[in-house]
């Protein structure tokens, strides 16, 4: 294991442990604040299409934000995990159109649009465990969103990249590798931090 991978593994473990200790009421309150601040971010609320995800477990909650975007008429694309860990996409049609899938995920039940559908997004909401002051994101390490970011780069599109986190997950430094990409903004229950225009 290279040093960057070891640093990432240690940081992931620490952050996941902190999330595991969060009280359910704090998670619910944070989700409402995240939705409010997320809708204040023009890159999300003013987009025609947003690629997002359904939070699970103790992840910062996305469901209120998904509903707010959908109610505003934003086309929301949600991922469908493929067997090789790549992501297909389908439109969000409301909470009643979500089904349980592998790994505890919730996925949309509508028609699959293909892995390239993410390239139509004006903004991409990325899951993460941390972001640093340079906008470098630490994901869970599965590689699904590394593929998404590589696909966007190959297509020559530059949607706004946004991460939802708890406030203490904005850290001093995230170990990075050559394939890592900085994000444009992070939304926490306390507000929005932008890293680049």
Per the annotation, does 9 bind a ligand?
yes
**140 known ligand binder:** yes
Residue 22 marked as a ligand binder: no
Q: According to the annotation, is 149 in a ligand binding site?
A: no
CA angle 28, 33, 35 (to 5 degrees): 95
- CB distance 46 to 73 below 8 Å: no
Q: Is 66 annotated as a binding residue?
A: no
Please indicate if the annotation marks 137 as binding a ligand: yes
- CA–CA separation, 77 and 42 (whole Å): 18
Distance CA 43, CA 24 (A): 29
Strands of the sheet with 137-138, listed across from one edge: 137-138, 130-132, 170-171
Does the annotation flag 144 for ligand binding? yes
Residues 6 or more apart from 179 whose CB is under 8 A from it? 146, 149, 150
User: Was 170 annotated as part of a binding site?
Assistant: no
Cα distance between residue 36 and residue 34, in whole Å:
5
The reply, when asked if residue 147 is annotated as ligand binding, is: no
Cα 186–Cα 42–Cα 160 angle in degrees, nearest 5: 55
The reply to whether 139 sits in an annotated binding site is yes
33 is in an annotated binding site: no
Closest by Cα among 195, 168, 172, 158 to 22? 168
Annotated binding site for substrate: 54, 59
Annotated binding site for ATP: 8-12, 137-145
Annotated binding site: 8-12, 54, 59, 137-145
């Amino acid at each position: 294991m290279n040093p960057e991978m070891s640093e990432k593994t240690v940081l992931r473990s620490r952050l996941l442990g902190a999330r595991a200790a969060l009280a359910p009421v704090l998670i619910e309150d944070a989700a409402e604040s995240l939705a409010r601040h997320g809708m204040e971010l023009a890159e999300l609320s003013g987009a025609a299409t947003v690629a997002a995800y359904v939070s699970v477990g103790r992840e910062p909650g996305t469901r209120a934000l998904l509903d707010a975007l959908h109610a505003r008429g934003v086309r929301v694309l949600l991922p469908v995990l493929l067997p090789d860990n790549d992501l297909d996409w389908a439109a969000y049609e409301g909470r009643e159109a979500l089904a349980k899938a592998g790994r505890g995920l919730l996925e949309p039940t509508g028609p699959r649009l293909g892995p390239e559908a993410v390239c139509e997004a004006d903004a991409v909401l990325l899951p993460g465990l941390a972001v640093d002051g340079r906008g470098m994101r630490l994901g869970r390490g599965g590689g699904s969103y590394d593929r998404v970011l590589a696909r966007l780069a190959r297509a020559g599109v530059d949607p706004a990249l946004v991460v939802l986190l708890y406030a203490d997950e904005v850290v001093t430094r995230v170990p990075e590798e050559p394939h890592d990409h900085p994000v444009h903004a992070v939304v926490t229950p306390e507000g929005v931090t932008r890293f680049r225009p």
